[in-house]
Chain A
């Protein structure tokens, strides 16, 4: 405990707290919990840094409901909404584009239809930025554990994802759009209803672990990057990405809505996981004829998509016993 090196290391970590008194307190606890080691545990250090960051971001500041993180998330959600409206407007205009109306089979005839190119680009960028903003919102909600932001993220991310898919599929195959339009409409209706019952959505989404929101943020960002990079359109890898994104959001939606049930009946995790693991590659490959499973980007995306499933499996394996929600019949504690 008297080791100066230990104290120096602990003090460095504790100083991340903005409050000096709290920092002293954390320093004491950090040193004591080191239990004679010459350095604090790495997990403890990261944990302190994480919570100090949250304090600094204001999410746990006394007297504030959402804090600065919540404000940022709210702004991001508003911006996301604007982007989505813009994208929808561009898409609507596209439906009445003369070239598309006269010859719906030729849509990338850009050299003769500058307006078409303009709206293609607008649509692509709007969709890409909507996805990125969704990622930012998810990240903010992840940091701040803001219920409202989480609920809105769930709503906007899913509709944004559906819109991205709708837009990209439209540019490739106009006949394909009807199916996605129906899916998007159905999702929009579902989430429009959900918005009316935001409290219920918030309650459901707060049951989703924080890591899941972090994963969503990473996933959104990874998927959005190739979409932006190609500029004119997402290209093949981008299309695979948005298809994967759509599937990811469908899984997310399923988990968000089913989590209360899963908490009560954790063995459903096992069944769901067993269904998802074999279904993912088949669904993705079947959704896109141009898919090339050996493509490195595809493998990376697949890995990213698969790991929640893997984590779900591990959760089942490691916590095989149902979480005790109440005392067993008979009044004992088991």
Chain B
């Protein structure tokens, strides 16, 4: 599993997050080393949703703008649990999935 995918799944493991929330969480998890750009983020989300690893939990309209919240599915949690330790963020992922 690519590190970015791992970090993205990890970011969505403990709670549902919207796009910018995911970007910030991934940056935190990687100590600022990985910064997802919006286009990359949504391309990855589309792929993960298509694979059933991530799902849309809810939508909100804030200040007239759409926010869509994503969260790891059961299948995504399993994948995250069994993922190879590709990055230091693995520790965070394990903690969240097992919590």
Contact = CB atoms under 8 A, between A and B. Distances in A.
Interface residues of A, number: 31
A28 B20 contact: yes
B42 A31 contact: no
Given A29-B38, A29-B41, A334 B20 contact: no
Contacts of B68: 25
B75 to A, nearest CB: 17
A105 interface: no
A318 interface: no
A286 interface: no
Interface of A: 1, 21-22, 24-33, 43-44, 47-52, 54-55, 60, 62, 324-327, 333-334
22 contacts: A21-B66, A26-B39, A27-B66, A28-B18, A28-B62, A28-B66, A29-B38, A29-B41, A30-B38, A32-B19, A32-B20, A33-B23, A48-B39, A49-B39, A51-B40, A60-B47, A62-B46, A324-B87, A325-B86, A327-B85, A333-B91, A334-B88
A60 B40 CA distance: 12
B47 to A, nearest CB: 7
A48 B38 contact: yes
A57 to B, nearest CB: 12
B90 to A, nearest CB: 6
Contacts of A324: 85-88
A44 B43 CA distance: 13
B37 A47 contact: yes
B84 interface: yes
Contacts of A50: 39
A44 B38 contact: yes
A44 B84 contact: no
B4 interface: no
Contacts of A24: 65-66
Interface residues of B, number: 27
Contacts of B66: 21, 24-25, 27-28
A33 B38 contact: yes
A42 to B, nearest CB: 11
B50 interface: yes
B96 interface: no
A31 B64 CA distance: 13
- In this complex, the member of B38, B62, B63, B68 whose beta carbon has the largest number of chain A beta carbons within 10 angstroms is B38
A1 B20 CA distance: 13
A28 B65 contact: yes
A333 B18 CA distance: 29
Contacts of A49: 39
A326 to B, nearest CB: 6
Shortest beta-carbon contacts, A-B, top 10: A51-B39, A29-B19, A32-B20, A47-B37, A47-B39, A24-B66, A48-B39, A327-B85, A28-B65, A29-B38
Given A21-B66, A327-B85, A333-B91, A29 B18 contact: yes
Given A22-B42, A26-B42, A54-B43, A43 B67 contact: no
Q: Most chain-A CB neighbours within 10 Å: which of B65, B67, B84?
A: B65
